[in-house]
Amino acid sequence: METPEQIKLRLETAVPGAKIEILPNDCPAGERSLLVDTAHVLAVAKFLRDDTQLRLDFCSNVTGVDWPEAEIAEKIKVKQVGDGVEKEVEELKKNVRPGFLEVVYHLYSMELKHGPVVLRQRTANRDAKAPVVSLTLVWRGCEFQEREVFDLFGIRLEGHPDLRRILMWDGFKGFPMRKDYVPPDDFEYEPTPHDKVLAEARKHYSPEVKT
């Protein structure tokens, strides 16, 4: 199968204007991914599915990732003058990276027996109204998994044929897989508390109750 660099080069030719970035991966598998801008992701997805060399006809997995705002430190080289001599030194520069959400697709070719190619979309921020684009029109199997991403992360997927909660009930508040999600303190209803749940349940016990 082609490398991410080869796929990126052909995508940029096939889909003019598409903004594509290869993202590294520090996990043992080291699967790098293609981050695509939402304005062109549908055209990119169709190319990945229909291209004769790729034929990525199967999406095995769709998931979400929450990236809260974070302080990022990077080393930069600056020129300094000391004792009349100019030299280049490294300094640590800190920047605040705004928060955002991602949807990640793992794509395989059943026809050509290769993969995965990992495709990512990214929201502008962590607002529940920040959209990405549903890829259900390209890979029908994305429908339920994109609903799960919407349900648990609050990512709105424009163009989805039936975007509603799938695991949580309609009146549920919040998105349980967000990193800043705070679960409700309803442990008084726990019939068999243990470990950390027991510690929370004890807060609701009357002083007379011995545990």
Domain chopping of the chain, boundaries? 4-67+100-179, 181-211
Place of tokens 């082609």: 2
pLDDT at 209: 58
Report the pLDDT value the prediction gives residue 187, as an integer from 0 to 100. Answer: 64
Question: Among 107, 141, 143, 145, which residue's Cα sits nearest to residue 2?
Answer: 107
Predicted local distance difference test score (pLDDT) of residue 188? 67
| pLDDT at position 84 | 74
> What does the buried/exposed string (b/e) look like for 36-70 if buried means 16 or more CB atoms within 10 Å of the residue's CB?
bebebbbbbbebbbebeebbbbbbeebebbbeeee
Separation between Cα atoms, residue 111 and residue 88, nearest integer Å: 54
- State the pLDDT at residue 189: 67
pLDDT computed for residue 48 by the predictor: 98
Class at the top of the CATH hierarchy for domain 4-67+100-179 = alpha beta
Regions of the chain with pLDDT less than 50: none
